[in-house]
A and B are shown apart, each in its own frame.
Chain A
């Protein structure tokens, strides 16, 4: 199982090379790899759950643990199965594209990340893969990186999903602390005690923030339609059938842990209900193929979220059956949309019509998918819709509201299905004239998915039945096999059937009047809520960044010094307040004449530095201060320090002289007020440093460490110079860090020096 994740990443690593070596066949080979992984999960029926574990950082409770149960298996099959169809499709779709190999690599890297996410048996592992899917999604949306719109959409998706992801991390860490373990199985075992914990509401809110942003729930839905800037295979894969379902997966996974409370029920189901109706309403108003599909995906995700929120057994079955149905038809429709725009050059449903004659295979796939989406029997979409309505009817006090909204959504989506999957192929005269059928590798994927939608609908009991049942058992938190998912086509003349038929009839009306509907919607600001708030927040962030940069990074060295010194004085000073000074009265008696003279000359030189009107004079005086300090080191038996100080001082003076060489010779005068302020800041800095050093004299930090160094320097470090042994051996890792910083700083200085314009003085 672990091997499958590694295999996907390994395939991603070799994808560009393979593509270069084999050309278009590369995509086919990679599709076979993905199909192989699908086979693994298809045969992994018995002895679930399976667990594999690699210790990572055991001290932190962090391990790469993977767990395969019914829910993971359903998702893994979707991810790898659709993934292989997408890879197959990408070959001809991206043919001749400069970076086709990169796209394949990213798709496989995403496949591996997504697989890791659904197999994770530990919330921290889950989080790592969760963010990996966000990153690969970012790279894939911005794949055509030369278009500013693609870059902006990629960044927006990344910011929205990772902001939610960070909140989720906080929630998962809290959850881990509450349950005393980060292992999902252990957490699930302690689920009963969780709702009573005072931290429970915070966990729910934080985790939902992650799930809702990832699965594009209202009001965070706006990034998903914008993500349609990605190449079509990416939209079909990430942004309809897999990645956006990660949030739903998380909800389903945590439903037995966090569910069952009023807070969970209302927040999850309300968010889902609003999202599904808003998404469906916007979907019908669009004219671009991919935007229609994106909004209908938002709507479908809303429905799944609603069902998970309702949380009954029937709702769990319905959520998973609908999830499968949606993956089939939406994946197919996206791929169809890609073929149409690839072979006609048109992106709008209004610009094409009657394509069935020229593109029979594509039209067949589109028809199968659209009928399933509309919820017509005997397609799996019908099965999913029936289960959903039934689950909504059983949702207690809110039953009629949820059922009504579900029917309305079903009606709108039926209209959308007609607009996007039927009208372009079967309505109106054939246009545009250049339309032609694409190669088999393009239409085989959607045709397979459409066929699956039909087969799964004809015999749901023995196709998707077992899959849904074992997944649903995991969501309900019961043992597999105890469930009794009633997947079937015909249940008699039930209220559910009547509601489903009502939705179809209204849907037909929506389809017939879709032009008027679009016209009515034309003036509406699309996705007004979320995207406006996003734009405002990003704008505010930039304003704050500019303001604080102007304040802190003004470019004037004096201001830098004032801010740095002033901050240090305030921060350290407040900590030092109240600490007693050591008794210094006895120290003065040993002071000898030459020592006193040395200290006096250092003081004099320091004073000269501050009053000198010539830069060169100031630098020379500063050099005297440095050498004087070095002499003090010599006096008190610190030869290492003294030696370093001498050389550093020499080099510093040299550097300063050369730097001053490029500046005007006189120090420009300052206004009186600033002079006083600078004096105060400098004086305070000096006083604080003096106090700090004096107090440091008195601090006893367990003598053992110094003794340890002295005792072990020669036998363990092979050196009598303890200072040096500490630097290169005992605390070598510190030195490593310091020299790295030194090297980076020098590189930065070099860059700044080379930045000076040629005509500067």
Chain B
């Protein structure tokens, strides 16, 4: 769609949406959000981008093939479960550790967060794998 208004708005909106999607992903454990909805927001950011600038440009902006994101996301989610196996506890048992961030206090980091990142990547991959070919001529 060749519209100056849409392109200008998109240029500002896309980074904001992507940033927001990461916020949702990271905040999800304590506040509304999570990997699933975060991934959907990121996917809609790229969808908007593809409408404004054609799918070809959007594909380049994603950098990797969406199908790779599906596999990668699954792999990340699976590896979060395997980490527990390596630690000698049953598959997918949550492992947590506290990381001190100077000036911000303590941050709890655990394998469920990694799992959520896997979900995020997969959802982006799934949405774009379906959306991009549909939008392409």
Contact = CB atoms under 8 A, between A and B. Distances in A.
Nearest to B126: A746
A725 B29 contact: yes
Contacts of A357: none
B110 A749 contact: no
Nearest to A729: B112
Interface residues of B, number: 47
B83 interface: no
A740 B37 CA distance: 17
Contacts of A735: 77, 115, 119
Interface in B1-41: 24, 28-37, 40-41
B47 interface: yes
A728 B119 contact: yes
Contacts of A753: 130, 133-134
B73 A739 contact: yes
Contacts of B134: 655, 658-659, 753
B77 A739 contact: yes
Contact of B29 (A643, A654, A716, A718): A718
Interface stretch (A367-375, A644-652, A687-695): A644-652
A650 B37 CA distance: 12
A670 interface: no
A728 to B, nearest CB: 4
B36 A727 contact: yes
Given A658-B135, A717-B94, A749-B129, A732 B112 contact: yes
Given A654-B131, A655-B134, A753-B133, A736 B77 contact: yes
Contacts of A648: 40
Contacts of A659: 134
A721 B33 contact: yes
A429 interface: no
A360 interface: no
Given A720-B31, A721-B29, A721-B32, A750 B37 contact: no
B32 A747 contact: no
A662 B126 CA distance: 21
B58 interface: no
Contacts of A749: 129-130
B37 A719 contact: no
Contacts of A728: 29, 34-35, 112-113, 115-116, 119
B123 A742 contact: yes
A368 B29 CA distance: 79
A639 interface: yes
Interface string A706-730: 0000000000111111011101110
Contacts of B43: 651
Contact of A750 (B30, B118, B133): B133
A335 B78 CA distance: 50
A655 B130 contact: yes
Contact of B70 (A647, A654, A729, A747): A747
B52 interface: no
Interface string A177-216: 0000000000000000000000000000000000000000
A733 interface: yes
A39 B101 CA distance: 66
A716 B94 contact: yes
Contacts of B108: 718
A732 B37 contact: no
Contact of A640 (B33, B74, B113): B33
Contact of A647 (B30, B41, B116): B41
Contact of B28 (A647, A650, A651, A721): A721
Contacts of B126: 742-743, 745-746
Contacts of A717: 29, 94, 112
Contacts of A654: 44, 47, 131
Nearest to A654: B47
For this complex, into which size category does the number of interface residues on chain A fall?
35 or more
B94 A644 contact: no
B131 A720 contact: no
The DSSP consensus for interface residues of chain B is helix
A640 B129 CA distance: 25
A666 interface: no
A729 B94 contact: yes
B30 A719 contact: yes
Interface in A643-700: 643-644, 647-648, 650-651, 654-655, 658-659
A745 B126 CA distance: 8
B34 A743 contact: no
Given A647-B41, A727-B34, A743 B130 contact: no
A635 to B, nearest CB: 15
Given A729-B94, A735-B119, A743-B126, A719 B131 contact: no
Interface string B34-75: 111100110110010000000000000000000100110110
Contacts of A739: 73-74, 77, 118-119, 122-123
A753 B134 CA distance: 7
B71 A736 contact: no
A601 to B, nearest CB: 24
Interface in B84-137: 91-92, 94, 96, 108, 110, 112-113, 115-116, 118-119, 122-123, 125-127, 129-131, 133-135
A708 to B, nearest CB: 15
A719 B110 CA distance: 11
A754 interface: yes
A719 B70 contact: no
Contacts of A651: 40, 43-44, 47, 127, 131
B119 A640 contact: no
A374 B135 CA distance: 77
B131 A655 contact: yes
Nearest to B24: A643
B19 to A, nearest CB: 15
Contact of B78 (A647, A725, A729, A736): A736
A718 B110 contact: yes
A743 B81 contact: no
Nearest to B21: A647
B44 A650 contact: yes
A516 B119 CA distance: 75
Contacts of B73: 739, 743
B77 A746 contact: no
Nearest to A656: B134
Nearest to A744: B70
A303 to B, nearest CB: 52
Interface string A623-636: 00000000000000
B79 to A, nearest CB: 11
A740 B29 contact: no
B32 A640 contact: yes
Max chain B CB contacts within 10 Å: which of A658, A739, A746? A739
B125 A746 contact: yes
A500 B108 CA distance: 86
Nearest to B78: A736
9 contacts: A640-B32, A654-B47, A659-B134, A721-B34, A732-B94, A739-B119, A743-B73, A743-B126, A746-B129
The 7 tightest CB contacts between A and B, nearest first, are A719-B29, A746-B126, A647-B40, A639-B32, A658-B134, A720-B30, A728-B112
Interface of B: 24, 28-37, 40-41, 43-44, 47, 67, 70-71, 73-74, 77-78, 81, 91-92, 94, 96, 108, 110, 112-113, 115-116, 118-119, 122-123, 125-127, 129-131, 133-135
Given A725-B112, A727-B36, 9 more contacts: A640-B34, A658-B131, A725-B29, A728-B35, A728-B112, A728-B116, A732-B112, A736-B115, A746-B129
Interface of A: 639-640, 643-644, 647-648, 650-651, 654-655, 658-659, 716-721, 723-725, 727-729, 732-733, 735-736, 739-740, 742-743, 745-747, 749-750, 753-754
